[in-house]
Amino acid sequence: MRKLWLVMAASLGALVTQPAFAAPPDEPKATEEKKVEPPKPVEPKATEEKKAEPPKPVEPPIEPKKEPEPKKEPEPKATEPKKDPPAADPPADDGGDTIDLGPDGADSGWEPEEKEPVFPRIEHHGYLRFRANLFSNGHLGTNFTDSGGTTRGTSGFPPPLTTNSINNNGQSSWSRADVGDGNEETVLGSANMRFRYQPTIHISPSLKIVSTLDVLDNLVLGSTPDFNFQRADAPYSAYATSQAPPGEQFAFKDSIRVKELWGEWKILGIPLRFGRMASHWGLGILANGGNQWDDDFGDYVDRVMAAIQVYGIYIAGGYDIVSTGPLYKEAFQPFGQAYDLSQSDDVRQGFFAVFQRPIQPEEVEARTKRLVRDRTPAFDWGAYIVARKQKLDVSDASLASYIGYANGAGGFDSVDFVRRDAWAVIPDIWLKLEYRPTYTMKLRVELEACMIIGKVGTLSGSPGDTEREILSGGFAFESEFSYGQLSVGLDAGFASGDSAPGLGILDGQKNFGDGGNANRRITNFKFDRNYRVDRILFREVVGGVTNAWYIKPWVRYDLFESPDGAIGGRLDALIAGTASPEAYPGNHAFLGSELDASIFVVDEGKFHADLTFGILFPGEALALKPGAPAMPTGYTGGQRDPAIAWTLQTRIVLKF
């Protein structure tokens, strides 16, 4: 009996020293079911020892045939691997009988063998977004009607329709008390939704197709009632029993909008991308792809680009087809290929970028180890430059003479060109620092700065038009420090201004003129509208950060310290001023202050819900002030200061 145990111990020692993916024909530890053949483990033990004496003493006892002993055999064998951990990583359970087997029953190691990816395959990503908003006094109470019956004001947020001219000046058959501002509407509310689907089709390891489709993109609920005054069953909206698909009667867009569609071909490991794709850089003040679930806009470019990596640094470059101008396609033919009719009117653009940041999965994993395990700071950086040029352009007068294609009567022969002679060079830098000195502490500091340098030969289309220079710039700064469940931060930004009247976003003024003269130097910089810093002031009243500076401290608290989700609240306090007060209707340096408070529930990567209350205390820069250079035309009253505005918003997002 003692010899039998020596033989078994020697056999187990030989088994442990075999490679992880080796498959001994008699291995008893692979699975419990293999124990039904007890004689087989005996034979290799004899050959393993290479002793003539042990086999004969082993045969007479025939102890392995004493079932149900083999059923309880795993107990000693399960404990033996635990005594020799260097041989292999321990299994998930303590019995060791759930080891993954290959197709031939061989032991594939303690960890399941990774399966080879299958091609073609599709990755599914996206989200369903629901947003409901209440706005009170978003127009700031500065709206008025000029002598031509046009409603004007100092806010980009429009007043209720019950305040317009036709409902208040006797032009309607109904009285002002019935349909006008006698209704005293003070709060406007609506809800909207979007379903974004972003599938990636992997054709092979070197080929893939990426797309982004928005279904019912920002569709306002209740905006497409199924009725028509010519129908007997539903002549009015009060009779509607259903919602019609967008694009039928009231909506201004299709049910499905394709935002991105591009392909990638890796040539010797170098990715070549081509098609329509989102463009994003740094924090997103210059180029913003609109990939965050609360985004409303997005920079989508028709691009061909490639990128390589040298010693951990990415080098990328590409060519963008910004505008082609009029096209040609056979008239009255829905099929066939269209062609560009002129190269001289194209807007051409190229870009070049050098940056360092983790992109590939292995790079992201290495970054995580560096921050969390090694406790060393991580620094990312990048430089990005864009060059744009256009020689000719279609005149404003002939722009509407063709719709997409210049063919047929009044098409090809009606297109009128003007000299534009425009060019621009746009450099941008981006810096980011991350540091986690302890498990519960985290620091992030991020900065992006940009400039636009350029020239436009003519804007009006007249040969004697004044040449304009472009020189503008801005920066955005974000910082965050977390300690356990508490996070605090300070954000700040600046966008250069212009003394010419107008902001060039929601106010509808292009600021190309200055007091009846041409604005020879255009210096106001505009942040991308997807870069959001508040709920009311820049997002709804101005339309974006331009001709302004802001400082925003904030604090956030999570009830549970978990990377997978959060329940908590956040408070933001923003104060903003003007860079060039002359461009604002109130001609004042103070733009306003805003408080935004929210509570949220987050399941990371799956679910987000929040409720936010924001209140704006507008500054004198948004007042109606007679005599100010940017005062809206047609106002004949005295100074009118803007009133307080507030909003209540909720958002629910399902992600996949």
Three-class SS of 456-520: ECCCCCCCCCCCEEEEEEEEEEEEEEEECCEEEEEEEEEECCCCCCCCCCCCCCCCCEECCEECC
| Cβ–Cβ under 8 Å, residues 485 and 561 | yes
Does any domain span residue 354?
no
Residue 170 is predicted with a pLDDT of 67
Give me the helices (H) in 150-268, please. Answer: 176-179
Residue 176 is predicted with a pLDDT of 79
Dihedral-angle region of residue 481 (phi above 0 means left; psi in -120 to 50 means alpha; beta otherwise)? beta
What count of residues does the chain have?
656
Strand-strand pairing, 378-394 and 417-435 = antiparallel
Does any domain span residue 75?
yes
Q: What is the mean pLDDT of residues 23-50?
A: 42
Q: Judge if the upstream peptide bond of residue 68 is cis by omega within 30 degrees of 0.
A: yes
| Cβ–Cβ under 8 Å, residues 634 and 156 | no
Residue 347 is predicted with a pLDDT of 96
Does any domain span residue 612?
no
Mean of per-residue pLDDT scores for the chain: 83
337-341 contact pairs (CB < 8 A, 24+): 338/405, 341/406, 341/412, 341/415
Does any domain span residue 78?
yes
Tokens matching residue 368:
């995580």
**To which residue do tokens 């509570």 refer?**
599
Q: What is the mean pLDDT of residues 120-129?
A: 97
Residue 93 is predicted with a pLDDT of 41
Task: Please give the tally of structural domains in the chain.
Answer: 1
In a 3-state reduction of DSSP, which class is residue 599? strand
Residue 410 is predicted with a pLDDT of 57
Q: What is the mean pLDDT of residues 423-447?
A: 96
CA dihedral 7, 11, 16, 20 (to 10 degrees): -170
Q: What is the mean pLDDT of residues 49-60?
A: 42
Tokens matching residue 493:
């930004």
* Residue that wins the pLDDT comparison between 167 and 313: 313
pLDDT band at 168; cut points 50, 70, 90: confident
Residue 179 is predicted with a pLDDT of 85
| Listed range (7-11, 157-161, 194-198, 566-570) with the worst mean pLDDT | 7-11
Does any domain span residue 7?
yes
Give percent of the chain with pLDDT exceeding 90: 60
Does any domain span residue 82?
yes
Strand-pair partners of 220:
192
| Cβ–Cβ under 8 Å, residues 541 and 529 | no
- From the list 20, 18, 38, the residue with the least C-alpha distance to 28 is 38
Tokens matching residue 226:
């199924």
Helix (H) and strand (E) counts in the chain: 8, 27
Tokens matching residue 498:
């212009």
- From the list 347, 319, 491, the residue with the least C-alpha distance to 421 is 347
Does any domain span residue 30?
yes
Residue 63 is predicted with a pLDDT of 44
| Listed range (44-53, 286-295, 547-556) with the worst mean pLDDT | 44-53
Does any domain span residue 624?
no
Residue 201 is predicted with a pLDDT of 98
pLDDT tens digit sequence for 604-644: 999 999 999 999 999 999 999 998 988 888 888 899 999 99
Residue 406 is predicted with a pLDDT of 57
Is the per-residue pLDDT at 489 higher than 60? yes
CA dihedral 488, 295, 589, 547 (to 10 degrees): 120
* Residue that wins the pLDDT comparison between 22 and 202: 202
| Listed range (346-350, 417-421, 457-461, 575-579) with the worst mean pLDDT | 457-461
Q: Ranked by mean pLDDT, which of 271-280, 319-328, 401-410 comes out on top?
A: 271-280
* Predicted TM-score (pTM) above 0.85: no
> Which burial class, exposed, middle or buried, applies to 583 when counting CB atoms under 10 A from its CB (0-12, 13-18, 19+)?
buried
Residue 320 is predicted with a pLDDT of 97
- Interhelix angle for 39-49 vs 2-16, to 10°? 80
Residue 82 is predicted with a pLDDT of 44
**To which residue do tokens 């009311």 refer?**
536
> Which burial class, exposed, middle or buried, applies to 453 when counting CB atoms under 10 A from its CB (0-12, 13-18, 19+)?
middle
Residue 76 is predicted with a pLDDT of 44
Residue 69 is predicted with a pLDDT of 46
Strand-strand pairing, 590-603 and 607-618 = antiparallel
Dist. CA 646–CA 220, nearest whole Å: 21
- What stretches of 255-346 adopt beta strand conformation (E)? 256-267, 270-278, 300-310, 313-323, 327-328, 339-340
Q: Domain of 42? A: 2-87
